[in-house]
Structure 1
Amino acid sequence: MQAERKNRLLRLLSDQVCQVRRDVILARYTSFRIGGPADIFVEPHSLAELQAVVGLVRTEGLPLFILGGGSNLLVSDAGIRGVVVKLGKGFNYSRWSESGADRTERRVRVGAGRSLGRFVREAVAKGYAGVTFAEGIPGSVGGGLLMNAGAFGGELSQVVEMIRGVDRAARVVCLSAEQLGFGYRRTALPSDFIVAEIGFRLYPQEPARLGSAMRRAQTRRHTSQPHGSPNAGSVFKNPPGAYAGRLIELAGLKGARCGKARVSEQHANFILNTGGARAAEVKRLMEHVQRTVWAAHQVWLEPELRLVGDWEQGRGGPGLAAHASEEGP
């Protein structure tokens, strides 16, 4: 974005939103600790501020990207053009309704900016089950909703009741769970729809059983997934009837490297930033994994990791996202 236009947009947004900055390095906001600058970085703290941002950005004809908790994401070394929105403190809440006399269920409205892990711990502390599978999944509740986060047989789609958000016309829209088009690690929401709040319906469970379920989830994650090096979670989706990590391991790719990016030796479906890795290195390593697994198993791995940003200024575009190369199917 040209400096003159960037400064003009900065002034316009500053009249609507209290926190607006330019040229913010996104690496500090991603779990991978990778990513270049955002032209404009905005943190709205209310639904009204969010609507104002969307309306102004659409009027100006600029791209808009919503940054959640920063997990499950690979931001280009060149960064993201246009406006990046990260929901502020006004979207970090949980509002619990009164349960019925029989305590058969309880509803809770959760701000999209709230940590998914914090919400899980709150639910367990209040004696409600339904989300213990998500213990240890990084990121925000809103980001988890968009990718239908899940683990160990559970998914958020099983407990989501409704959402509230802002559409491309800056209107506040409420949608039921049935309208979200949940699938494996996805929803059918338009990419420009901004989730602001999620409504969940949970059910009570004995504290001893809840505590046991939490400990099992924590133990499984601790023993099976890498810790210590920045990463973005699972890199590839599990193909039907198989596990991506197992296919990668059988292809002999544990420990494979590209620059400072390395396939984890503990769980092969994780790529680690061993210190100063670039997005281009992670992307090339992902492509190498895809080609090698295809050659070994005739299975093309589809990324779960989202590639975002200005890849034309980096090395190569995000063409690996859903399509095989000439060596694939």
Structure 2
Amino acid sequence: MTIEKWVSDLAQMVNPQNIKCNESLKQYTMTKLGGNADVFVMPETEEEAANIVKYAYENNVPLLMLGNGSNMVVRDGGVRGIVIHFAKLDRIDIDGEMVIAQSGALIKEVSKLAAAQALTGFEFACGIPGSIGGAMAMNAGAYGGEIKDVIVDCTVLTPTGERIVLSKDELELAYRKSVITKKGYYVLNAKFHLAKGDQEEIDAKIADLTFQRESKQPLEYPSAGSVFKRPPGYFAGKLIQDSQLQGKGVGGAEVSTKHAGFIINKNNATATDYIETIHMVQRVVKEKFNVDLELEVKIVGED
């Protein structure tokens, strides 16, 4: 099958204006890195999303789901096949203490809307830059809170396009992993249970967490956030800092001088620069401390 055939078939399922060929993925990732997607498609409904997933499966077309691109590094050669982007699936509904958010909704927007309704439990997410889909897949967390603390259930598509609902236990949420990543599911929406709280306390907590984030993280540069998972018994940022790697990097990529756990796109870096900087950090930390730094970010695409 040709790219033209994919586009023609997809145009029967979604608005043709939501299909793009040879689309640069730089504008869809927080690192501002990466090559082009053969075909880029944005479903407007969950049914459209299911049809695309089913089509890719039945026709053996490679399919990559892209959320807010906050936890993903796309290689310079881009992505073959179809990239499905859920940005238009961004509805957030609040009913009492229940919050239902679609995959493309930004997690910090869910936190903001919950806070506006005096609902507590989601303050931890006020500064997380990802989407609900990515947050579910990685069991996103910050400042002592994580998705598994508030999740009720999650509706996903299997790789064949079948829609199923997974309970909290079925999601197998653990530190930066879930059954979603293990089985290659695509998140459609998630339901959270929060609690009524004191408006002033919620606002104060969000203000405090926002200050902590803005004062400690290099938000002025494109980055994928925390690049590495926390190794058992250590902190990745401390190991990198103690390895004297801050300010060092390859090409336009650099280990942040503000937060050692971040690798920033400081000066028109390529994805190759960024990935080589990651490997340099892993190599030096292994040599100095005999600790293997495992990636929290996902690297996709071709060189």
Q: For residues 86-111 of structure 1, give each alpha carbon's deviation from its aligned partner in whole angstroms, at most 9, with x where no partner exists.
A: 0142x2111112x3xxxxxx111111
Shift of 1:135: 1.2
- Identity among equivalent pairs (%): 33
After TM superposition, the structure 1 stretch with the greater mean CA deviation from structure 2, 61-70 or 163-172, is 163-172
Structure 2: which 5+ runs fail to align?
A: none
Shift of 1:275: 2.5
> Quick one: which amino acid aligns to residue 16 of structure 1?
M
Residue in 1 that maps onto 2:3: 6
Among 258, 261, 267, the residue aligned to 1:269: 261
Residue in 2 that maps onto 1:141: 132
Secondary structure of the equivalent of 1:32? coil
Q: For residues 297-328 of structure 1, give each alpha carbon's deviation from its aligned partner in whole angstroms, at most 9, with x where no partner exists.
A: 11111011110112xxx2xxxxxxxxxxxxxx
> Quick one: which amino acid aligns to residue 8 of structure 1?
K
Contact between 2:67 and 2:87, CA under 8 Å: does it hold in 1? Answer: no
Shift of 1:25: 0.4
> Structure 1: how far apart are the matches of 2:86 and 2:143?
29
Aligned pairs for 1:1-329 within 5 A: 5-18=2-15, 19-89=18-88, 91-97=89-95, 99=96, 106-189=97-180, 190-310=182-302, 314=303
Shift of 1:169: 2.1
Shift of 1:290: 0.7
Shift of 1:192: 2.8
Contact between 2:223 and 2:264, CA under 8 Å: does it hold in 1? Answer: yes
> Structure 2: how far apart are the matches of 1:126 and 1:255?
42
> Quick one: which amino acid aligns to residue 40 of structure 2?
F
Structure 1: which 5+ runs fail to align?
A: 100-105, 315-329
> Quick one: which amino acid aligns to residue 20 of structure 2?
R
Residue in 2 that maps onto 1:319: none
Shift of 1:226: 0.7
Q: For residues 38-87 of structure 1, give each alpha carbon's deviation from its aligned partner in whole angstroms, at most 9, with x where no partner exists.
A: 01101011121112111211111011110000101100100111110001
> Structure 2: how far apart are the matches of 1:188 and 1:281?
31
> Quick one: which amino acid aligns to residue 177 of structure 2?
R
Contact between 2:87 and 2:105, CA under 8 Å: does it hold in 1? Answer: no
Q: For residues 111-150 of structure 1, give each alpha carbon's deviation from its aligned partner in whole angstroms, at most 9, with x where no partner exists.
A: 1111111111101110011111111110211111111111
Contact between 1:251 and 1:292, CA under 8 Å: does it hold in 2? Answer: yes
> Structure 1: how far apart are the matches of 2:239 and 2:87?
40
Contact between 1:62 and 1:83, CA under 8 Å: does it hold in 2? Answer: yes
> Structure 2: how far apart are the matches of 1:111 and 1:277?
32
Shift of 1:211: 1.1
Shift of 1:227: 2.0
Contact between 2:38 and 2:81, CA under 8 Å: does it hold in 1? Answer: yes
Equivalent residue pairs, number: 300
> Structure 1: how far apart are the matches of 2:52 and 2:184?
13
> Structure 2: how far apart are the matches of 1:298 and 1:60?
45
Secondary structure of the equivalent of 2:176? coil
Secondary structure of the equivalent of 1:178? coil
Residue in 2 that maps onto 1:325: none
Q: TM-score, normalised by structure 2?
A: 0.97
> Structure 2: how far apart are the matches of 1:219 and 1:59?
48
Shift of 1:191: 4.7
RMSD (CA atoms): 1.1
Shift of 1:154: 0.7
> Structure 1: how far apart are the matches of 2:6 and 2:219?
40
> Quick one: which amino acid aligns to residue 33 of structure 1?
K
Shift of 1:293: 0.6
Contact between 2:230 and 2:236, CA under 8 Å: does it hold in 1? Answer: yes
